[in-house]
Structure 1
Amino acid sequence: MTTAVITRKWYTTAEVAEMLGFGLSKTKMLVLTGEIRSALTNAMTEELISKNVAALVKVRSARRTKRHPWSVEEARQFLEAASAAHDPLYAAYVLILVLGFRRGEVLGLTWENVNLDAGEITVQMQLQRINRRLVHDETKTEASTATLPLPEICVAALQRRRKEQDLSRQAAGELRSTNDFVFTTRYGTPFEPRNFNRRFMDRSARAGVRRIRLHDTRHTCGSLLAALYTPASPCRPFGTARSQ
């Protein structure tokens, strides 16, 4: 009876058997234990069982995975490779690595919030997939909204992106979707967050740098900014910042 309640509400019998038959990470164990406990609580409410035995199970919390962000040299190597390949997402990578933008903030960025003449950028919107829909909305908190000064490399990268986008629009004509997003697909549509992750991983492999999570690149931001503004830094200037 207990197994029937669990599998009917959350998993098929085959899925439960597979999870219990193979090694699970502590995080997955915590999730699974919580869902079983919830299922048995519902069963008690429906008077199908008299006791929730899962409430007696204790699973030790998983340790947080230690982050290993890129070094300044690795970040430089990645950006120079993206620039040399004329990657249309080069400016997005610059904003993430230099200013610490989140994925949603980059993909939700519109030209309305970019002032290249003043050298400023406003973080105000984000693009996320929620319930199978792409949602363009304000950032989660007021603290997340800010106007930031743009370092030279960011200005140059965004100027380059605008030129590329203008040329793409002229070539596509009426076939291209029209919107104000800074980063779009070749058809002018908003960029799918998961596809952005895939493009980042592919570019990392092509650049010959360590494979890390996109989110962890934000932790390189402070070191990279310091290198850009420190004359004695061993990190040489980025090529595209000089070429624009």
Structure 2
Amino acid sequence: MPRLPEYVTPVDTGDGKRYEVRVHGARPDGERFQFKRRFKTVKDAIAFHSEVTSGLSKKTYIAPSDLTLQRAVDDWLVGQRIRPNTRAAYVASLRPLVDALGAKPVQAITKRDIEHVVQDLLNGKSKMGSWNAPQIFKGKETRAKWSASSINPMLARARTVFGDLMAEGIVVRNVAALVKPIPTVKPEINTLTAEQAAILLASTDSHCYGVAWRLALLGLRRGEILALEWDGIDFEAGTLTIRAARLATPGGVTTAAPKTESSKRVLPMPDELTAALRRARRRQNEAKLQMGSSWPNSGLVVVDDLGNPPYPTTLTVAWATALENAGLPHVRLHDARHSCATLMHLDGVPAVVIAAWLGHTDARFTLATYAHSNNDALADAAVRIGAITNGAAAEGNRA
């Protein structure tokens, strides 16, 4: 029998003789690895060794790894450098994937595995697990059906996770990228007209959250409204400074830096807002005198009648109630920001100015996302274009 290569070792097993191959190599990060496989024939053993060593020399071979999806996602989250509420959103979106496939090695996960997770979410058959599970889900066995707007962010995060694993040389391909997103229809964004905004502000002026609605219609995000401090209001200069955001997290509420660097901004205050802020501060001072030491000294502009800062979702519910009490159609609290951008756009404010006002870095994004024509504006445009075309027709007839 020909002499065996030094990397092939004969092994006697209960099922007969096998030929064991040991391979040594290094991963892209420099970590050394060793693994072995057994074959029934010397020919198969030599072929395997040749394939592996060729791949190692060309840097195309992926070494075996027992890294599980749960560990991979945990490691990925650590390296994201993101705000707490963004991390919470990532965890929430990835939870079904980790619950279903968390114990499985990432190298063993297939497109079909992820497709099954998607189908279970669509059909309301996704099983709840324990990975980062909030207390409110304790005892719940199955998730409610997820829509495309929830599933697609999960797939986007999964593509990023597997993309990083591929870059690290842990997986040979990004299987998550093979799963197509669920088709969606972009939801219509509703905005308040100038008249509706005026009705809302007039009907809530004396309410503890009335000033919050003014700030929302000024274009501030919910988190920016909740984090606005009296120290950031300069009545003499007529400006307000946005330098933080108060955000909901699984553990409660946290105050963090604004969404982007451009979100930190100083805005001139309209006279009506200045007057409303003075009234709000006067009401708070009067309540503080009545309550004494029991009044929380948060320093925040938006608080309830007892001086407590509202939870973010509490403000959202209060907004819906305020619209209903004013006899106005429901629009989301964030749509007040859309309303601000749209009204400024319809009034001829340049896009770059609107972007700076809202805290955006790209005016094109501002126009594409926030500036919408409402029905009244479209009707006015119809009258104008009608006048133009009628005038042109009249000129033609006279000619």
TM-score, structure 1 length as denominator? Answer: 0.72
Which residue of 1 is the match for residue 70 of structure 2? none
TM-superposed CA distance for 1:101, in Å, is 0.8
Q: C-alpha distance in 1, partners of 2:295/2:101?
A: 47
Structure with the larger RCO, 1 or 2 (CA within 8 Å, 6+ apart): 1
Equivalent residue for 1:95, pick from 209, 215, 220: 215
Pair 1:12 & 2:12 matched: no
Which residue of 2 is the match for residue 67 of structure 1? 189
Q: Evaluate the alpha carbon distance shift between residue 106 and residue 133 of structure 1 in structure 2; reply closer, same or farther with a 3 A threshold.
A: same
Q: C-alpha distance in 1, partners of 2:207/2:271?
A: 19
Equivalent residue for 2:282, pick from 163, 166, 177: 163
Moved more, 60-69 or 114-123: 60-69
TM-superposed CA distance for 1:27, in Å, is 2.3
Per-residue CA shift, 1:52-103, capped at 9, x if unaligned?
99876534432321212111111111111112xx211111111111x21111
Moved more, 103-112 or 122-131: 122-131
The 8 Å contact of residues 109 and 125 in structure 1, kept in 2 or not, is answered as yes
The 8 Å contact of residues 151 and 182 in structure 2, kept in 1 or not, is answered as no
Pair 1:80 & 2:202 matched: yes
SS in 2 for 1:15: coil
Q: Which amino acid aligns with 1:15?
A: T
Pair 1:115 & 2:234 matched: yes
Which residue of 2 is the match for residue 49 of structure 1? none
Which residue of 2 is the match for residue 234 of structure 1? none
For structure 2, the residue ranges without an aligned partner over 5 or more in a row are 1-98, 104-125, 130-140, 161-173, 348-399
TM-superposed CA distance for 1:181, in Å, is 0.7
SS in 1 for 2:247: strand
Pair 1:139 & 2:266 matched: no
Equivalent residue for 1:219, pick from 324, 338, 347: 338
Q: Evaluate the alpha carbon distance shift between residue 126 and residue 34 of structure 1 in structure 2; reply closer, same or farther with a 3 A threshold.
A: closer
The 8 Å contact of residues 233 and 241 in structure 2, kept in 1 or not, is answered as yes
Q: C-alpha distance in 1, partners of 2:189/2:254?
A: 29
Which residue of 2 is the match for residue 30 of structure 1? 152
Q: C-alpha distance in 2, partners of 1:226/1:220?
A: 10
Moved more, 62-71 or 151-160: 62-71
Q: C-alpha distance in 1, partners of 2:290/2:149?
A: 49
Q: C-alpha distance in 2, partners of 1:131/1:142?
A: 25
Q: C-alpha distance in 2, partners of 1:105/1:154?
A: 16
TM-superposed CA distance for 1:32, in Å, is 6.9
Q: C-alpha distance in 2, partners of 1:110/1:202?
A: 25
Per-residue CA shift, 1:121-156, capped at 9, x if unaligned?
111111112232321222132211111111111101
SS in 2 for 1:219: helix
Q: Which amino acid aligns with 1:11?
A: K
Q: C-alpha distance in 1, partners of 2:245/2:232?
A: 12
Per-residue CA shift, 1:14-69, capped at 9, x if unaligned?
526x63xxxx533245367779999xxxxxxxxxxxxx998765344323212121
Q: C-alpha distance in 1, partners of 2:340/2:158?
A: 41
TM-superposed CA distance for 1:194, in Å, is 0.5
TM-superposed CA distance for 1:12, in Å, is 3.5
Q: Evaluate the alpha carbon distance shift between residue 170 and residue 37 of structure 1 in structure 2; reply closer, same or farther with a 3 A threshold.
A: same
Runs of 4+ in 1 over 3 A off after TM superposition: 7-10, 28-38, 52-61, 222-228
The 8 Å contact of residues 72 and 223 in structure 1, kept in 2 or not, is answered as no
Q: Which amino acid aligns with 1:173?
A: G
The 8 Å contact of residues 100 and 127 in structure 2, kept in 1 or not, is answered as yes
Q: C-alpha distance in 2, partners of 1:144/1:210?
A: 29
Q: Evaluate the alpha carbon distance shift between residue 207 and residue 173 of structure 1 in structure 2; reply closer, same or farther with a 3 A threshold.
A: same
For structure 1, the residue ranges without an aligned partner over 5 or more in a row are 39-51, 229-244
Q: Evaluate the alpha carbon distance shift between residue 135 and residue 73 of structure 1 in structure 2; reply closer, same or farther with a 3 A threshold.
A: same
TM-score, structure 2 length as denominator? Answer: 0.46
The 8 Å contact of residues 96 and 218 in structure 1, kept in 2 or not, is answered as yes
The structure having more radius of gyration, on CA atoms, is 2
Q: Which amino acid aligns with 1:125?
A: A
Q: Which amino acid aligns with 2:235?
A: L
Q: Which amino acid aligns with 2:267?
A: L
SS in 1 for 2:204: helix
Pair 1:175 & 2:294 matched: yes
Q: Evaluate the alpha carbon distance shift between residue 63 and residue 187 of structure 1 in structure 2; reply closer, same or farther with a 3 A threshold.
A: same
Q: C-alpha distance in 2, partners of 1:30/1:140?
A: 22
Q: Which amino acid aligns with 2:210?
A: Y
